[in-house]
Structure 1
Amino acid sequence: MTNTTLTVHHLGRSQSERIVWLCEELGLDYELKRYERRKDNMLAPPEYKALHPMGTAPIITDGPLVLGESGAIVDYLLATYGDGRLAVKRGQPGFADYLYWFHFANGTLQPVVLRVRYLERVDPSEKNAVLQAAKGQFNLVFSTVEKRLGEAPYLAGPELTAADIMTVFSLTTMRLFKPYDLSPWPNILAYLQRIGARPAYQRAMQKADPDITPLLRATP
């Protein structure tokens, strides 16, 4: 299904890449507007912040609708234009897995990466007990993802879903801001190779951030 009123407002090197990827997987007709980060502080430029009261990526416009928040945008696009694709419905195998991993992405995975990043800025020493606890949680989170990807090729089961689209940013582009090594988690690395081989992902990343190579390897 096509919709020429749909515009994805993509802030470079941000989680709005998820929305570009989703549109490519669904084969939607959409307009992509790219915004570069400010040079002085790497934040969104004023024209991006003016799009939505929160001023954060991602943002879409669809006719008169202005919508933020990754999860809300993904749900909206799937419900409006998905025709049942990239989601698992109630009663289908993997429904609970789909729900869990879809919400795990922004509810657990991304916050733990950010927590370690911010705590390291305050005090990176081993004496920082809060940081050490956060690193322990980081390892637990990544070990949980690793275990799941040893059980199934994608987070909700045998096929790619929006749960994967929500997750991959934190395993790839986010490492430009918080570098970390994926070597301890070979199942995650194999998963990223499967993602990177997808034509829709390749198109999305080329359109969204043509100046960077997707971080699908162990080290940034």
Structure 2
Amino acid sequence: MEAENPREGGGETKAGAVKNGADPARQSQPVTVSGWKPAQTIPKPDDLRDHVDDGNLEFPQKREEENGGRFIHWLEVNFKGDPHDVNIIVSQENPEIVRQLWKRKQMKEELAAEITSLKTEKVSLQPENSNLKDEIQQLKLKLRILPERHEVHVTQLQKQLCEEEIHCLEMRKAFPNTWRYMNSTYQFLNMYRKMAQGMNQELEEALSTLRMRFCATREELRKPGRQPSSMRESSRT
């Protein structure tokens, strides 16, 4: 059974009620749709415009938009349970409101689909986020360990540097003594070299003298009847 429009058939309904003996106050209650009864009467767009009209005639379009928005808000508050009843009642009042409600419904559906997509994407990104968190933890651990390793390495290098400096200082201290020892050794070497050269020269002279005497003795022995002077000297003695 379709509901009558209170705006169009209000007078006729009231007259019929009085004619039939019904209570006019009871007949003036809001129309029910599909067995559902709103908590209060539906304010018509004209009634809303009359109610909020402040006498300013310069902005009628703005007032109409404000009135329509208030009416849509009222419908959303009072018709949360059954959108079908909202469409039936609003379609009898103003098609523009139906269009706005439909547009808002589409926007809500699009937002719900986008939210679902974002939730799905969030779930799909959770493993990657977990891997990134693990990598971040590992990097943080490395950042904590690296300074300690660097400090240990620097300490070892400083120790080696100190040891090398001590060794270099010892070598500098020992260098004068070593230089004096090398100098004296070099002088002795030159002296021994000169002595060896002198002895070699004397040896060569002695060998040359002996060679000459040997040759002279051999020549004398070759002559007949003559004895070498060395043999004569030995016989005289």
TM-score higher than 0.5 here?
A: no
TM-score, normalised by the number of residues in structure 1: 0.20
Q: Which structure has more helix as a fraction of its residues?
A: 2
Greater relative contact order (CA < 8 Å, ≥ 6 in sequence): 1
